[in-house]
Structure 1
Amino acid sequence: MRRFPVRSLAVLAAVGTLALTGCGTEAAGRVGGVAATADAERTIRAQKVMRLTEVHEETGMTLLEGPTFDKNGDLLVVDVTAPEGSPKVIRVDVRKKVSRGIRTDGRGAYTSAQFSPYDGRIYLTDYAHGEVVSLAPDGSDPRTFFAGEVDGALMNPDDIAFDKEGNLYLSDARSLSVGDAHGRVVRIDRDGEKATVLAEGLASTNGISFDKDYRGLWISELTQNRISYLGLDGKGEVASQHTAVRVDGGIAQTDSIAVDADGNLYQALHGRAAMVVYDQHGERLATVELPASAKGLESATNVAITPGGTKAYMTVSGPAGGYLYTFDALAKGTRQSNGG
């Protein structure tokens, strides 16, 4: 997820108690006759697909997140701040540009959605209540997969990444306060019986995704505007950890992350309706921007790239509502390309 736009824990508490067409690529401009080389060498212009939600009167906002493709090619999206009675999980036919709600309830503040490779169910993180719930692919049969403390502390689970066996790796934000570094990365076995803290002392852990070879995890830390890399030992434990990329976001902050088949990172920005793309060595490759005509959109929270294709769908939100935008990714989509 991203931090809840105008996002504050007070808003989250309030929520809890309520219980793409083609795109173009522009070459870099020239400054004084010299090709501009600042950060990105190109800008990718995303194009509007459709509006999915309006600002909710009850919560004063809408916040789309967690785009993930089902086996039929439909896109599932969550609306973090949707009140009871409004769709909290939305299925989108991106070809026909139609959507329908498949889940609502009076409690959850869902910040991400992923399909498990183990049982095929939809897994949702409930940020406000520290839980992970699962649904049947059609949105029915809700089950609590995990709840309770991990190492003596409740989670604020944000995003999810699955390994090949179906074990869950969660970004646990713990706090969105400036200066706090209590965030964690938590691994939950696929049966939901065992939870292990893999890393801690992180700054509002947000995005999480495996790299292309499942050798490590990319983690975004929202209040430090950095992407960290956790090398894994082959048994699901962290063998190494370092800061990999420092994101020059200005007023924007690092939100969710997705990874394409070439290992490129798509870093969403909370506070700016844009994404930045890096290769696995930290080189900034491109910036994904909305058209200049797009107004009232403040954050690009997440992205999903079509499995086996390069069409990418980005969730964008703000006072104008919650939208899907599309652009051409730099490489094909895989499981890691559903924003974590």
Structure 2
Amino acid sequence: MDEKNTISLQYSRNSAAFPLSADENQLQTVTAEPWLEISKEALQLEGLCFDREGNLYLLEVFGGRVFKVSLPEKTIETVFGENTMNPAAIKIHKDGRLFLCVLGDLNSSIGSGGVYAIQPDGSNMEEIIAPREKYAVDDMVFDRKGGFYFTDFRGHHFDPLGGVYYVSPDFNSVTPIAKNLASPNGISLSKDERSLWITETNANRLNRIELLDDGVTIAPYGSSVPYYFSGYDGPDSCCIDTDDNLYVAMYEQGRVLVFNKNGCPIGQILLPGRENGHMLRSTHPAFIPETNELIICSNDPVGGGGSWLFRAKGFAKGHLGYQFA
């Protein structure tokens, strides 16, 4: 064999450490722009949530702090100090309280987290779901009745311990919706409240659940996996717009994938520098109220780029959900 004439594989720009798959490389793609630096440190930012006045709340998971970004000035203040609870998301109840989803002990599959409510200034903490219930609560979404769905971020694909649950409006009962999931993470509710979207991080799956009128029973043939993600690490938090498109942050990939209401990919938003390994820890997208401007949080532990919020425009205006009902 003449080795000089043997054709060999060649690396290209798209075969770097963080390539896009062949099909996703053909999607409509935009690159976000820097919007606000939260810290020079690489903080695990999560939980973007806007209040009625348009101010933004967010948190850092491993330090536990909750930040408030007052707009339009973009001034940053800490409203809840350092702690060891490992919070992962913030949602705002219709009465104005901040609901914190707490993972608890990250080294335990037993579950020692819960849900807590605090005032916007960080005071008067109340226990909504206690650690004794043995959940690792990662994210939640309110329905119009004042109840909420949450994800239990436990397990892996060899031992799927996680699930999705519904908490009644009086917070007195917890009803299982789906079990045996591998660390379900992000959760969104469609505009008509009939469809639940769940990202399953440790199985790299997007789950769609059709609900009956009671809001807790899966409709006949109502569960599906519209999409399997590729690459490490997996899908994280998500949100919807007013056209019921779903925006899913991809952790350790520096981007957000967008799906239509049927779960078909229709676009993506890349974070600047991702092709060189920067700002890969994209965790959460959220819309500025009454606009199609999407804010995405990420951090850059390898490249030393700190912790940032980025901005891009989505297909439609963001859906406010029922936290303002």
Q: Normalised by the shorter chain, which TM-score bucket?
A: 0.7 to 0.9
What residue number does 2:58 align with? 77
Give 2:77's aligned amino acid: R
The equivalent position to 1:217 in structure 2, one of 170, 193, 196, is: 196
CA contact (8 A) 2:186 2:237 kept: yes
For residues 139 and 216 of structure 2, what CA distance do their matches in structure 1 show?
18
For residues 149 and 215 of structure 1, what CA distance do their matches in structure 2 show?
30
Write out per-residue CA displacement over residues 130-172 of structure 1, whole angstroms, 9 at most, x where no aligned residue.
211001123222111220454xxx1011001000111021000
Aligned-residue sequence identity (percent) comes to 27
For residues 302 and 252 of structure 1, what CA distance do their matches in structure 2 show?
14
DSSP-derived class of the 1:164 partner = coil
Q: Post-superposition shift, 1:105? A: 4.3
CA contact (8 A) 2:212 2:218 kept: yes
For residues 252 and 159 of structure 2, what CA distance do their matches in structure 1 show?
20
Q: TM-score, normalised by structure 1?
A: 0.79
For residues 188 and 337 of structure 1, what CA distance do their matches in structure 2 show?
15
Write out per-residue CA displacement over residues 7-42 of structure 1, whole angstroms, 9 at most, x where no aligned residue.
xxxxxxxxxxxxxxxxxxxxxxxxxxxxxx933431
Write out per-residue CA displacement over residues 17-74 of structure 1, whole angstroms, 9 at most, x where no aligned residue.
xxxxxxxxxxxxxxxxxxxx9334311110101211343xxxxx52000101001101
Q: Post-superposition shift, 1:308? A: 1.8
State the aligned residue count: 289
Structure number with bigger Rg: 2
What residue number does 1:248 align with? 229
DSSP-derived class of the 1:335 partner = coil
1:168-207 alignment runs, 5 A limit: 168-175=148-155, 177-207=156-186
The equivalent position to 1:334 in structure 2, one of 307, 319, 324, is: 319
Task: Report which structure shows greater RCO (CA 8 Å, sep ≥6).
Answer: 1
1:153-168 alignment runs, 5 A limit: 154-168=134-148
For residues 205 and 94 of structure 1, what CA distance do their matches in structure 2 show?
32
Query: RMSD across aligned C-alpha pairs, in angstroms?
Result: 2.2
The equivalent position to 1:106 in structure 2, one of 83, 88, 92, is: 83
Give 2:88's aligned amino acid: T
318 and 180 in structure 1: CA distance in 2 versus 1, 3 angstrom threshold = farther
Q: Post-superposition shift, 1:335? A: 2.3
DSSP-derived class of the 1:223 partner = helix
CA contact (8 A) 1:228 1:242 kept: yes
The unaligned stretches of length 5 or more in structure 1 are 1-36, 56-60
Give 1:146's aligned amino acid: I
DSSP-derived class of the 2:261 partner = coil
The unaligned stretches of length 5 or more in structure 2 are 1-21, 105-111
The equivalent position to 1:136 in structure 2, one of 99, 119, 123, is: 119
DSSP-derived class of the 1:299 partner = coil
CA contact (8 A) 1:74 1:91 kept: yes
Write out per-residue CA displacement over residues 151-199 of structure 1, whole angstroms, 9 at most, x where no aligned residue.
xxx1011001000111021000122x45221111111123322112111
CA contact (8 A) 2:194 2:215 kept: no
